[in-house]
Amino acid sequence: MKLRRRIWAQTYPRDRDAHALLSSIYQAFGQYEKGAQEGKLSIEADSNFPPGYANLAWAYVFLGHFSEAGNVIQQATKRKFEFPDLILLPYYIGFLNGDSGGMERQVTLARDRPGAEDWLSNAQAFVLASAGHLHAARTMSRRAAGIAQQGGQKERVAMFEAGAAVREAFFGNANETGRSATAALALSSARDVEYGAAFAAAISGDLTRSQPLADDLERRFPEDTCVNFSYIPILRALAFLYKGDSASAIDLLQVSTPYEMGVPCSWFGFFGNLYPAYVRGMAYLSARHGVEAAAEFQKIVQDPTLIWSDPVGPVARLQLARALALSGNTAKARAAYQDFLVLWKDAEQDIPILKQAKAEYARLP
């Protein structure tokens, strides 16, 4: 597929669509420099083509080039383009820069904007959850779903619920995981919605729910790249992991390696970032290979521009601490636990993984 898009772009160098599509494909593979170059070419081919600006700005964000991304956003704004990314992008740049004022400005801009207000409200929910403010995150998720529901956007509501299920599963809240997953599936059986519900169930250890969903994805999308190279390997690996077969889980995830640093297919729902690395790390932990596990979790911790506010971010910090402790590196394990506890210093105290982290930290020699 990528080769055909490249040939198309080379054959028709002034075709804006070819360069825009190739930009997206490169970013799906984690090749953000190439994604940015194709985004530039798309704009050069047609300076009035909004997707070219969106692709280029996102590529710059993933590269950590926030000022360049800001310049692209300004260019798009001057042309009076109106698409949700122009509001969401500065919000996440503000988040990554710790600029709460900039984030709040985008929240204000999103109000009563169709296609933007619900999306940004859902983004706010994930930002709140990333700091351990889970009750506030639930409230914001309900707000996002309510706005989307009023707009007749049933698929969006389902995606927001799926994301909430993933979030709750990572943090150890089985009841909320089940509630959100059930709500999502009642609204939609779309590919990414079904994957979110299946992943949440699998992380919670509910294989009776996750594996039939994996079977359904495999049956309905036999040639889908996301399903074959990401969703199914992850879900099957989790099943092997919970059955005690870490080696098979690690082997299954080899096929996901070329994609794991790229933009996830489920990015609209703010989940899915580097999940193959996370599950592989879990498998190494289960096999008591601390050094290898730490290397996988480090991939997630070291680059916040690829994680955004995905709940995998804070949880990977905790898993990194566990991996370092398992490897016998007590000093680094202590520092990693401290990093997590500082990140969640204002978090709600009843979150299961926070309780576990505090107990494990107290037991360190």
For the entire predicted model, the pTM comes to 0.94
Residue 207: give its domain's CATH number. Answer: 1.25.40.10
Mean pLDDT score, 339-351? 97
pLDDT score recorded for residue 14: 54
Residue 221 lies in a domain: yes
Residue 42 lies in a domain: no
User: Which CA distances in Å does 116 have to 93, 151, 154, 363?
Assistant: 16, 11, 15, 46
* Domain interval for residue 345: 84-363
Q: Which of 265, 267, 270 is nearest to 140 (CA)?
A: 270
Whether residue 8 is predicted with pLDDT greater than 60 in this model: the reply is no
Residue 218 lies in a domain: yes
Structural domains in the chain (count): 1
Share of residues in the chain with pLDDT > 90 (%): 91
Residue 78 lies in a domain: no
**134-159 confidence digits (pLDDT tens):** 999 999 999 999 999 999 999 999 99
Residue 19 lies in a domain: no
